């Protein structure tokens, strides 16, 4: 195009169409950028995120309440126990607080277990927590006689780890307060222990 030459009508129309297209593209780009830069609170998923956080907070509150209730239950069990915490429970030996006739009936196997827990196949840590929950639930349901099977085990003269650890687990304060007496259902086989639980006086 020669310098200084005026555009004819057709050329001027094409030029206006071209320049208007550029301006329109710039306006659309600017509008898109403005739409993307919205405040965080207006993002579509924000309300959903707040809802999920609220639900999670409620669940945590329920869990905290259960844990607190469980702690209070344990404290009450200990406070209302008439058995000294220093008294070690020996399996097969009559404990103080149990009348002789009940002990003889229990020790001779004349009281059948209402529930049986078999700990075969569990690690020591897992077995302890299962035992604790089993005894707590049983005593809370007023079940009096239960049996715990550990098996004899191998590798040691005293038996496997579950058999060796069970007497110590039964003497932990939160478990000891539940127990009235313990014995072996078969005197020649220490792979199972029968437990007489106290009555639940909080029910």
Q: Is residue 139 part of a domain?
A: yes
Residue 192: closest CA among 156, 148, 160, 159: 148
How much is the pTM? 0.55
- Mean pLDDT, residues 172-194 taken together: 88
Q: What is the CATH number of the domain that holds 123?
A: 3.30.1370.110
Query: Total structural domains in the chain?
Result: 2
With pLDDT > 70 as the criterion, what percentage of the chain qualifies? 58
The answer to whether position 181 is within a domain reads yes
Model confidence over 50-83: pLDDT tens digits?
666 676 666 666 556 655 655 565 565 555 454 4
131 shares a domain with 191: yes
In a domain, 3, yes or no: no
Helices assigned H by DSSP within the chain:
9-36, 46-79, 100-107, 124-140, 161-169, 173-176
d(CA 112, CA 100): 18
Is residue 192 a contact partner of residue 160, using CB atoms and an 8 Å limit? no
141 and 179 in a single domain? The answer is yes
Q: What pLDDT, in 10s, does the model give residues 84-141?
A: 445 788 898 888 888 899 999 999 889 999 999 999 889 999 999 999 999 999 999 9
Are residues 70 and 95 located together in one domain of the fold?
no
Instruction: Quote the CA–CA distance of 111 and 183 in Å, as a whole number.
Output: 11
Summarize the confidence of residues 160-182 as an average pLDDT.
Answer: 91
| Residues 94 and 192 placed together within one structural domain of the fold | yes
């Amino acid at each position: 195009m020669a310098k200084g030459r005026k555009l004819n009508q057709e050329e001027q129309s094409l030029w206006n169409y071209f320049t208007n297209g550029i301006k329109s593209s710039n306006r659309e780009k600017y509008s898109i950028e403005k739409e993307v830069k919205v405040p965080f609170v207006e993002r579509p998923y924000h309300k959903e995120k707040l809802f999920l956080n609220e639900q999670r907070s409620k669940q945590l509150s329920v869990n905290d309440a259960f844990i607190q209730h469980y702690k209070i239950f344990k404290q009450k069990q200990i406070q209302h126990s008439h058995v000294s915490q220093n008294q070690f429970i020996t399996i097969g030996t009559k404990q103080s607080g149990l009348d002789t006739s009940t002990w003889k009936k229990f020790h001779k196997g004349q009281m059948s277990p209402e529930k049986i827990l078999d700990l075969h196949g569990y690690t020591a840590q897992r077995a302890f927590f299962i035992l604790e929950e089993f005894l707590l639930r049983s005593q809370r349901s007023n079940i009096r006689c239960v049996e715990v099977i550990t098996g004899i085990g191998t590798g040691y003269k005293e038996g496997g780890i579950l058999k060796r650890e069970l007497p110590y687990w039964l003497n932990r304060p939160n478990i000891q307060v539940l127990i009235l007496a313990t014995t072996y259902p078969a005197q020649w086989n220490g792979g199972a222990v029968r437990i007489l639980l106290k009555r639940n006086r909080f029910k």
